[in-house]
Chain A
Amino acid sequence: MLNNKIKFNLLLLASFLTVSPVFAAKSAEAVKALKPALAPVTGLKAQDMPYDVGGAVLLTWDAEAAAPEGTLYRVFVSSLEAGGWLQTAAFASGEKMSKDMGLPFWAWKARGGMHALNVELNNIYGDFKDGPVFHFKITKVKGTVAAESETASSATVSNWFRLDRLNNLVLLIVIIVIFFWAVSHARRKGLFIRRIAGLDAIDEAIGRATEMGKPIFYVPGIGSMGSISTIASAFILGEVSKKVAQYDSQIKVPHYDPIVMTVCKEVVKQSYMEAGRPDSYREDINHFVSADQFSYAASVDGMISREKPAACFYMGYFMAESLLLAEVGATSGAIQIAGTDVEHQLPFFFTACDYTLIGEELYAAGAYLSKEPMLLSALKVQDFGKLVVMVSVFFGMILVALGAKFGWDGFVQGLLHLFRNY
């Protein structure tokens, strides 16, 4: 049975192989039959597509100044020395110009009067290792008339550098240099940091909890360890739990993400040790609740309304559960301090909490509370970043406006390239 199936398939394959050249010959004849009254494409060049992972070839050819309307280009590729042509693209004569490549001026010399096309061979030949040479030709078609170009060939290469992302790299290097300068500067000199009321209130909140003999809830939100606000939250938890240990108060940290829980366990344990109270540390300070947003909110709400904590901290990444948590906390009479970088949840925290840290303040909180010069120095880098943005926006606006008025198109384009993400 199986043998028969294999035989049948072989037969099918053999018949296909014998028939296909006939088809190919026929189509070639058909093309030839169309009288070449059109001038063929000139200047066709094939080269490896720069700055890519490989598997793509860049084709360039001269654009016709006055191509008759309705002229089409058909691009063919073949992996064989002769024959085996497959169509990879077809488009009108005015499209795929060199200036439309979407690459910045330092990585691509956009030339007028030239077409450029990125042919991704993976789409046709599947995954292949770089090395084989591919052949290309372009047929110009207008109505029933067609003209074929000469062939151009190229192999593909997996490149090592995204030159188009140079602007990004330069900015990164500048920030890193300033970062290290600020860090070394911080070691030598202290840095001024403005007061953040929300963070100053932490002491008050913990003091109140101690007096009332009620617990403190620290809610680290629903972010994973990959979210910066959760990392910042872990820093703040470290400082808060140290104070809690010193005052011998109680803290509870319900979790949404098991990895965040593991990290926070370590952080809290360390803080208790630093405060000299390792005996007060309990494993169930940090406990997992649910990895489902509203189950988490429901459960934490339940705990808050049952235990009536003296203080609630909401620090980290929050979505729709922000108000669910904060409102319940507010009605239970707790002092509430919130902090998140999710801007559209900030209004809810503002209405229901006593203090709210906005975005960057949350990031700065770890540094602010620990008062470590190394950490504080990073705030300086943040300020520098903001300065760069402000100056760029201000001058960029003026220059682009001037450019538009005086027609400095090239200059404006160049400027825009500098600030674009590639």
Chain B
Amino acid sequence: MKLIKKQIPLAIVFITGVLTLVSYYVPNKTSVNYIETMNKWENIVVAFAFLLGLVSLFFSHYHKLKKKADGWGYSIFVFVGFFAIVIPAYVSGGKQMTDAGLTPLGWSFKYIYNALSGTMFAVLAFYIVSTAYRSFRIKSMQAFVLFVAAFILILGKVPLGQMIWDAVLGWTGAGVNNVIDWIMQVPAVAGKRGIMIGISIGAIVTSLKIIFGIEKQYMGKD
């Protein structure tokens, strides 16, 4: 059992990991073909995994309906939503638009999915504004610096803000765009670079841990 659950998977990880790593340094056709095959396999596995997801989704909501668990009414919408897209997709043969115009799939995409998805992202704007109101408070020196930077950025991002800046601070000679450019190009980039470098090194080390089988929690423990 341990062989199947632990050693063979670890060997697969090690061999494919090392081969993929090596292929970066080996330009030969063999290595190109190897990467090509791996990519195709990966795509196939991902496609099958969607099925897995679908089964899990259906089972969990089916059980909720069956048990009449709390909020079971919402589970009905999972099925309604699913069929509202899948049936038109099947009827239209996967095409959203033909010469005759929108197909049923195109219609559901445009008038159902578009609207729902757009709404979710739009909610973000409301949250950002209310979060800004609640949490952007100057309670320390750092918060003050952050406040000044944010204030200039928000102001300078829109034409009306630029006009206000010109009217109020135009005499200083510094355009709001120059100030924004400096903030974005110097302190912001410097900070981001630091985080990026740290993250990249972390990613390399984590990859090595996985390839060499030191980190194997993702398989469950012994």
Q: A183-B214, A267-B220, A382-B201 are in contact. Are A162 and B26 (CB under 8 A)?
A: yes
Q: Is the CB of B206 within 8 A of A228?
A: yes
Q: A262-B49, A297-B120 are in contact. Are A389 and B197 (CB under 8 A)?
A: yes
With both chains docked as a complex, state the minimum distance between the C-beta of A261 and any C-beta of chain B, in angstroms: 6
Contact of B192 among A238, A267, A343 (CB under 8 A): A343
Verify if A263 is at the interface (C-beta below 8 Å from B): yes
Q: A258-B50, A382-B202, A385-B205 are in contact. Are A263 and B27 (CB under 8 A)?
A: no
| Bound-complex Cα distance A6 to B214 (A) | 65
Verify if B219 is at the interface (C-beta below 8 Å from A): yes
Q: A298-B120, A327-B131 are in contact. Are A269 and B205 (CB under 8 A)?
A: no
Q: Is the CB of B117 within 8 A of A295?
A: yes
Verify if A33 is at the interface (C-beta below 8 Å from B): no
Q: Mark A381-399, 1 if CB is under 8 A from B, else 0.
A: 1100110010000000000
Verify if B12 is at the interface (C-beta below 8 Å from A): no
The size bracket of the interface on B is 35 or more
Which chain B residues in 192-211 approach chain A with CB under 8 Å?
A: 192, 195-199, 201-210
Which chain A residues in 39-63 approach chain B with CB under 8 Å?
A: 51-54
Q: Is the CB of B217 within 8 A of A234?
A: yes
A234 proximity list for chain B (CB < 8 A): 217-218
| Bound-complex Cα distance A289 to B217 (A) | 24
Q: Mark A269-298, 1 if CB is under 8 A from B, else 0.
A: 110001000000000101111111011011
B201 proximity list for chain A (CB < 8 A): 360, 382, 385-386, 389
The size bracket of the interface on A is 35 or more
Of A139-147, A201-209, A351-359, A412-420, the stretch lying at the interface with chain B is A351-359
B204 proximity list for chain A (CB < 8 A): 175, 385
With both chains docked as a complex, state the minimum distance between the C-beta of A311 and any C-beta of chain B, in angstroms: 19
Q: A327-B131, A375-B214 are in contact. Are A165 and B202 (CB under 8 A)?
A: no
Q: Mark B167-195, 1 if CB is under 8 A from A, else 0.
A: 00000000000000000000000001001
Question: Can you list 24 A-B contacts with CB-CB less than 8 angstroms, sorted by A residue number?
Answer: A53-B32, A158-B27, A161-B27, A168-B25, A228-B202, A235-B218, A259-B52, A261-B56, A262-B52, A267-B220, A284-B63, A287-B56, A320-B124, A324-B120, A327-B131, A343-B199, A351-B135, A358-B195, A360-B198, A363-B206, A374-B214, A375-B209, A375-B215, A382-B198
Q: Chain B residues in contact with chain A, CB under 8 A?
A: 21, 24-30, 32, 45-46, 49-54, 56-57, 59-60, 63, 70-71, 74, 116-117, 120-121, 123-124, 127-128, 130-131, 135, 192, 195-199, 201-210, 212, 214-215, 217-221
Q: Chain A residues in contact with chain B, CB under 8 A?
A: 51-54, 158-162, 165, 168-169, 172, 175-176, 179, 183, 224, 228, 231-232, 234-235, 238, 255, 257-259, 261-263, 266-267, 269-270, 274, 284, 286-292, 294-295, 297-298, 302, 306-307, 320, 323-324, 327, 341, 343, 348, 351-352, 358-360, 363-364, 366, 370, 374-375, 378, 381-382, 385-386, 389
